[in-house]
Chain A
Amino acid sequence: MTTTLIVVLSLGYLGMLFAIAYWADRRADQNRSVISNATIYALSLAVYCTAWTFYGSVGRAAATGVGFLPIYLGPTLIAALWGTLLLKMVRVSKSQRITSIADFIASRYGKSHLLGGIVTIIAVLGIVPYIALQLKAISRSFTILLTYPEVTMPGATDSLPLLQDTTLYVALLLALFTILFGTRHLDASERHEGMVAAIAFESIVKLVAFLAVGLFVTFQLHDGFADLFDKAEAAGILNPLIVDGMDGYENWFSLTLLSALAVMMLPRQFQVAVVENSSEHHLRRAIWLFPLYLFLINIFVIPIALAGQLTFVGDEVDADTFVLTLPMAYHQSTLTLLAFLGGLSAATGMVIVETIALSTMVCNDLVMPGLLRRWKQIPPNADLSQLLLRIRRGAILLILLLGFLYFRLAGEAYALVSIGLISFSAVAQFAPAMIIGLYWRGGTRDGALAGLLTGFSIWIYTLLLPSFAKSGWLPVGLLEDGPFGIELLKPQALFGLTGLNEITHCLFWSMTLNIGAYILFSFWRTPRVNEATQATLFVDALKHQRFLGAGLWRGTAEIDELLHLAERFLGAKRAQAVFQAYATRRKIQNIKQLPADAETVHFAETLLAGAIGSASARVMVSSVTAEESLGMDEVLNILDEASQIRAYSHELEKKSQELEAATRELKEANERLQELDRVKDDFMSSVTHELRTPLASIRAFSEILNDDPEIELNERRRFLGIIVSETKRLSRLVNQVLDLAKIESGRADWNAEDVDLLEVVDQALASTEQLFAERGTQVIRETPSSACMVTGDRDRLMQVLVNLLSNANKFVSEKSGIVCVGLHSYHDRYEVSVADNGTGIAVEELPNIFEKFRQAGSTGNKPIGTGLGLPISKKIIEHLGGRLWAESGSENGAIFTFAIPKKQNDALPPGETHAEKDSDRG
């Protein structure tokens, strides 16, 4: 294949990536983000799979069988913990506008510039071999492809003159591309939507390419997996034993642990998983989709490795290149190019994200602190956003050139996997400061510094120096005899520890001493104010619903100064827009009218943090504000209060709601009781009043009879007649009071029998016939002919009807009175009404007519009844599940009606029919 074809293809592919990124950025500007999607998020995490996965896994599998798997099992196992671990990191980072892993660690330990700088240096030095690996993969695959279809391994490139080394041009091209990609403009935000979209696309490309090669090898060249395994076994290259491949349990475990840590600590993983995360909800899918991606891209690793070994028996073909050379050997030009593109996408994805992440760190945590110090003497220019961009671009170029340098120095001596593991071991040094710091408040800046420096030193000594020594850049005697011949200090057998591979050896010593130093130095002294503040914010991240940083600032500031500061770093237009949005959120029209309070200062600081990192933002903001320092106790109080309040507020709210409900009930009960008390008093006074009237007349007439024996017989008879009738009245009154009391207290005896209302009407009319006759009242009866059956107490119903009839009789005028009794059937009830043409009831009296001792027209001189008849009737009807009401007649007089539910065949209890009645009343 010609150089031109491959170069054009590669550039075309990169151009497409650029187009995707451009499109996604445009969409983000229009607020229609394409990456705000859980699947895209999980795919972007697959930037974990680099050229090392694409080419190197097969190489490792060819050598060891399952030895490549820990690199993917580790992430699978730790992904299950992301629900807490990563969620916490994401939440903290969102609230503090964390821009990188260096920023994260620096923030956790009191926004320390020193710590951020050290993390940056470790990350850059640790990642350089990894970038070298990608460069090596691209340039090698390119060189191999040139001889298509002849498979020849390129010679060692370090013998070539510098300018003929393809890798140099690959590095420069990638630098240019990354610069165009990641640093086109300095955003107010630390996020790069376009980049994430492109990375997700690359993840699809590399997976498809790898699966295509795998399917071709397994099902085209061979007859499926089983056939391939058979042939491999026959050739004696199948090594199905896990134990043989895993190189001992300790190494198997340590590689898994190492990759589990790396998948969270690698700057590019932190970038896509935390910084670029657009919603916490996306984590859920990543927990299984990311491991599934790893699973899929690994299914064909062993088949490809076996097939490669079967195909290239005796040839000097590096197993690291099987993915590319197998399609070549079988003259599959399209598949070969697809494989090449897959490798290219794996490598470019890693390089782009990693260098963007590292350049952000270099800019924010290494260069900015130096500049800030200089600016204290010489004030900087107005617009610094261009300067920041230039720093980042320079950093990208520098990092890629460092990668190239490492490649020239040491790259040829190692397989791809080994180079990658060296980088993993370096970034694993962040784990104690990061993870322990997320759960233990006591970790201090000194502890983190000590841990990081110790761990990193061990890494340099046990991994980096040996890699140089093996390449001949340092005397090999260093490895074989130890420095100055001290055996105990041999870099790959430190303190005499042997039997582990170099990665496990390094991991054991560096982690042990790292964690040891971290804890020891953390205990050394108590945390300072700002460390304790940040520690609490990080450790309690999942407890705080809202970041409370604003509450921790006190001082004076000028809004103009803050705006001016933001303009210098973000550009005038962008800063104005963001401040305007903030002002609108606070319901303030003009930016100038914004109060320069703690909230605004906090807003400005996080805004800047997104651009220049939290530590530098803190320094810049405090340079334009006068902050009063809070005492340790004060800060802790605020934080304690805040967290306790949040913890308990929910509970309190619930309690107070319960209390309110209880109070309301009590109040209602109290009102009811007072009302009852009042009613009882009224009742008592009414009863005594009613009793006194007949008593008084009985007494008066008795006294007359007693005092004056001379009274005429006629007179005497009349008096005795009055006494008798008053006594009857009295006993009737007492009976009724007792009756009412019985009904009200529920002690009355009730018969539940089938009653025909027609009979009741007949009997009631019969027993009141005499009364009507006395007053000459005409009675009209309107009743149906068939029986009207209800369930109830016959005597009680009689009592009600007699009461209504005699009432009606009392209120009609003598001789001209008409009383009309009606019985009507409705679908669920009967209504019995008693209408008269008497004095009627005033509308305002209607609601009170059923109260005890209330008599219509009782304002007149003589009470006609006891005043208890209607209340008793009402109680009876209600007890029977019916309703009794009164209304004024159409012309004059009154109508009393009671409704009684029909007898049910399935015998519904009266209460329920009553409820039904209520509903059709409206």
Chain B
Amino acid sequence: MNRSIRTRQRLVGVSLLGLLFYFSPILTLFDKTTEWAGYPISYLYIFGIWLALILLAAWMVEGKKP
């Protein structure tokens, strides 16, 4: 029970991280026309953070079997 409550709280953290990366001025730091290895850095940022959040949640949920 304790473990699942802890996992739930960590997942809330993932959600808050998402809010921070997508809805705070941090976004503007990466919102540039600069390219990195041929990719616009803004696209890399948006999709990279997205994938990172998903993997983080997956790790929290599946990483430690109850």
- A611–B53 CA distance with the chains assembled, in angstroms: 40
Contact: A81 with B39, CB < 8 Å? Answer: no
A114 in the interface (beta carbon within 8 A): no
Contacts of A225 in B (CB 8 A): 38-39
Chain B: CB-nearest residue to A288: B58
Chain A: CB-nearest residue to B13: A80
Known contacts A241-B31, A242-B27; A81 and B15 CB within 8 A of each other = yes
Number of A residues, CB within 8 Å of B: 35
A83 in the interface (beta carbon within 8 A): yes
A134 in the interface (beta carbon within 8 A): no
B2 shortest CB reach to chain A, Å: 12
Which A270-325 residues have C-beta < 8 A from chain B?
Answer: 284-285, 287-289, 291-292, 295, 299, 302
A488 in the interface (beta carbon within 8 A): no
Contact: B15 with A83, CB < 8 Å? Answer: no
User: B28, B37, B62: which contacts A285 (Cβ < 8 A)?
Assistant: B62
Which B3-37 residues have C-beta < 8 A from chain A?
Answer: 4, 7-8, 11-12, 14-15, 18-19, 22-23, 27-28, 31, 33, 35, 37
- A78–B16 CA distance with the chains assembled, in angstroms: 10
B55 shortest CB reach to chain A, Å: 8
User: B4, B22, B51, B57: which contacts A287 (Cβ < 8 A)?
Assistant: B57
User: B15, B27, B45, B55: which contacts A78 (Cβ < 8 A)?
Assistant: B15
Contact: A241 with B18, CB < 8 Å? Answer: no
B57 shortest CB reach to chain A, Å: 4
- A484–B27 CA distance with the chains assembled, in angstroms: 44
Contact: A240 with B11, CB < 8 Å? Answer: no
User: B12, B31, B62: which contacts A81 (Cβ < 8 A)?
Assistant: B12
- A302–B40 CA distance with the chains assembled, in angstroms: 12
A224 shortest CB reach to chain B, Å: 8
A-B contact count, CB below 8 Å?
Answer: 91
- A69–B45 CA distance with the chains assembled, in angstroms: 13
Known contacts A238-B40, A292-B58; A83 and B31 CB within 8 A of each other = no
Contacts of B11 in A (CB 8 A): 80-81, 83, 287
Contact: B43 with A295, CB < 8 Å? Answer: no
- A241–B45 CA distance with the chains assembled, in angstroms: 11
Known contacts A80-B15, A80-B18, A240-B40; A291 and B62 CB within 8 A of each other = no
Most chain A Cβ neighbours within 10 Å, of B12, B43, B55: B43
Contacts of B43 in A (CB 8 A): 66, 240, 302
Known contacts A81-B15, A284-B62; A253 and B23 CB within 8 A of each other = yes
- A256–B4 CA distance with the chains assembled, in angstroms: 27
User: B28, B54, B61: which contacts A76 (Cβ < 8 A)?
Assistant: B54
Contacts of B27 in A (CB 8 A): 242
Contacts of B42 in A (CB 8 A): 66, 240-242
Contacts of B61 in A (CB 8 A): 284-285, 287-288
B14 shortest CB reach to chain A, Å: 4
**For chain B, which range describes its interface: under 10, 10 to 19, 20 to 34, or 35 or more residues?**
35 or more
B4 shortest CB reach to chain A, Å: 8
User: B14, B22, B31, B51: which contacts A256 (Cβ < 8 A)?
Assistant: B22
Contacts of A287 in B (CB 8 A): 11, 57, 61
- A363–B65 CA distance with the chains assembled, in angstroms: 42
Known contacts A78-B15, A81-B11, A242-B42; A299 and B47 CB within 8 A of each other = yes
Contact: B18 with A295, CB < 8 Å? Answer: no
B5 shortest CB reach to chain A, Å: 9
- A69–B27 CA distance with the chains assembled, in angstroms: 14
- A73–B33 CA distance with the chains assembled, in angstroms: 22
- A761–B50 CA distance with the chains assembled, in angstroms: 87
A920 shortest CB reach to chain B, Å: 43
A230 in the interface (beta carbon within 8 A): yes
Which A341-367 residues have C-beta < 8 A from chain B?
Answer: none
A894 in the interface (beta carbon within 8 A): no
Contacts of A230 in B (CB 8 A): 38
Contact: A229 with B38, CB < 8 Å? Answer: yes
Chain A: CB-nearest residue to B15: A80
- The SS class assigned to the B binding surface is helix
- As a 0/1 sequence over residues 226 to 252 of chain A, the CB contacts with chain B under 8 angstroms (1 = contact) are 110110000000101111000001001
A79 in the interface (beta carbon within 8 A): yes
Known contacts A226-B38, A252-B23, A256-B22; A84 and B8 CB within 8 A of each other = yes
Contacts of A79 in B (CB 8 A): 57
- A111–B61 CA distance with the chains assembled, in angstroms: 35
A264 shortest CB reach to chain B, Å: 14
A77 in the interface (beta carbon within 8 A): yes
Chain B: CB-nearest residue to A81: B15
Contacts of B40 in A (CB 8 A): 229, 238, 240
Contacts of A249 in B (CB 8 A): 23
- A480–B37 CA distance with the chains assembled, in angstroms: 48
Contact: A226 with B39, CB < 8 Å? Answer: yes
Contacts of A84 in B (CB 8 A): 8
Contacts of B51 in A (CB 8 A): 295
Most chain A Cβ neighbours within 10 Å, of B23, B27, B38, B40: B40
Chain B: CB-nearest residue to A246: B27
Known contacts A73-B18, A84-B8; A288 and B57 CB within 8 A of each other = yes
Contacts of B18 in A (CB 8 A): 73, 76-77, 80
- A288–B41 CA distance with the chains assembled, in angstroms: 25
Contacts of A256 in B (CB 8 A): 22-23
B23 shortest CB reach to chain A, Å: 6
A514 shortest CB reach to chain B, Å: 22
Contacts of A295 in B (CB 8 A): 47, 50-51, 54
A254 shortest CB reach to chain B, Å: 11
B36 shortest CB reach to chain A, Å: 10
Known contacts A69-B46, A240-B33, A285-B61; A80 and B39 CB within 8 A of each other = no
Most chain B Cβ neighbours within 10 Å, of A78, A227, A292, A299: A292
A244 shortest CB reach to chain B, Å: 9
- A249–B25 CA distance with the chains assembled, in angstroms: 10
Contact: B54 with A83, CB < 8 Å? Answer: no
Contacts of B38 in A (CB 8 A): 225-227, 229-230
Contacts of A292 in B (CB 8 A): 54, 58
Known contacts A243-B28, A249-B23, A291-B57; A76 and B39 CB within 8 A of each other = no
Known contacts A242-B27, A285-B62; A83 and B39 CB within 8 A of each other = no
A218 shortest CB reach to chain B, Å: 12
Most chain B Cβ neighbours within 10 Å, of A78, A227, A230, A288: A288
Chain B: CB-nearest residue to A284: B61
- As a 0/1 sequence over residues 608 to 625 of chain A, the CB contacts with chain B under 8 angstroms (1 = contact) are 000000000000000000
6 further A-B pairs in the complex, CB-CB below 8 A; given A66-B43, A73-B22, A80-B53: A76-B53, A77-B19, A242-B27, A243-B28, A285-B62, A302-B43
Residues on B facing A (Cβ under 8 Å): 4, 7-8, 11-12, 14-15, 18-19, 22-23, 27-28, 31, 33, 35, 37-43, 45-47, 50-51, 53-55, 57-58, 61-62
8 nearest A-B pairs in the assembled complex, by CB-CB distance: A226-B38, A240-B40, A288-B58, A83-B8, A80-B15, A80-B11, A288-B57, A80-B14
Residues on A facing B (Cβ under 8 Å): 66, 69, 73, 76-81, 83-84, 225-227, 229-230, 238, 240-243, 249, 252-253, 256, 284-285, 287-289, 291-292, 295, 299, 302
29 A-B pairs with C-beta separation under 8 A: A66-B46, A73-B50, A76-B50, A77-B19, A78-B15, A80-B14, A80-B18, A80-B53, A81-B12, A81-B15, A83-B7, A83-B11, A226-B39, A227-B38, A238-B40, A240-B33, A240-B41, A242-B42, A249-B23, A252-B23, A285-B62, A287-B57, A288-B55, A288-B62, A289-B58, A291-B50, A295-B50, A295-B51, A302-B43
